[in-house]
């Protein structure tokens, strides 16, 4: 395999943004199920309505994007954004006025 296997331009971050209705019991259940599906697929909460997942390649990111699309609830607004690790690393995060660290890239074990 090539040396750019863990290249910052090859590693991808998939971000899922959503605004789901929660007025009724059924809507709350659908929103909860959507979040549970994201977590089951390896996404982590970044903010309450933003989940993210690190993927070793664009191809792997596409697999997880398809899973998100298959789990879309009937109502609500959902956005999916895929960025390179290099682009993600340019984000500035703050907790109040204090700068915070970005989530670390996870190492994934591949067996062949």
* Residue 60 within a domain: yes
Residue 104 lies in a domain: no
**What is the number of structural domains in the chain?**
1
Q: Which residues pair with 19 in a beta bridge?
A: 77
Instruction: Using alpha carbons only, give the angle 59, 20, 40 rounded to the nearest 5 degrees.
Output: 45
Instruction: State residue 111's pLDDT score.
Output: 54
- Going by C-alpha positions, the residue among 83, 73, 14 that lies closest to residue 43 is 14
Model confidence band, residue 103 (pLDDT cutoffs 50, 70, 90): confident
The string of pLDDT tens digits covering residues 5-52 is 567 788 999 999 999 999 999 999 999 999 999 999 999 999 999 999
Residue 8 sits in a domain whose CATH number is 3.30.70.240
* Of the listed ranges 21-35, 75-89, 90-104, the one predicted with least confidence: 90-104
Domain that holds residue 61: 3-87
pTM here is 0.82
């Amino acid at each position: 395999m090539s040396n750019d296997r863990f290249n910052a331009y090859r590693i991808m971050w998939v971000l899922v943004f959503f605004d789901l209705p929660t007025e009724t019991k059924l809507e709350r259940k659908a929103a909860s199920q959507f979040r549970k599906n994201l977590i089951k697929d390896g996404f982590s909460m970044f903010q309450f309505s933003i989940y993210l997942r690190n993927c070793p390649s664009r191809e792997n990111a596409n697999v997880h994007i398809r899973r998100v699309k298959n789990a879309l609830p009937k109502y609500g607004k959902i956005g999916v954004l895929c960025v390179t690790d290099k682009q993600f690393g340019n984000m500035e995060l703050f907790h109040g006025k204090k700068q915070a660290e970005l989530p670390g890239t996870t190492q994934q074990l591949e067996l062949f």
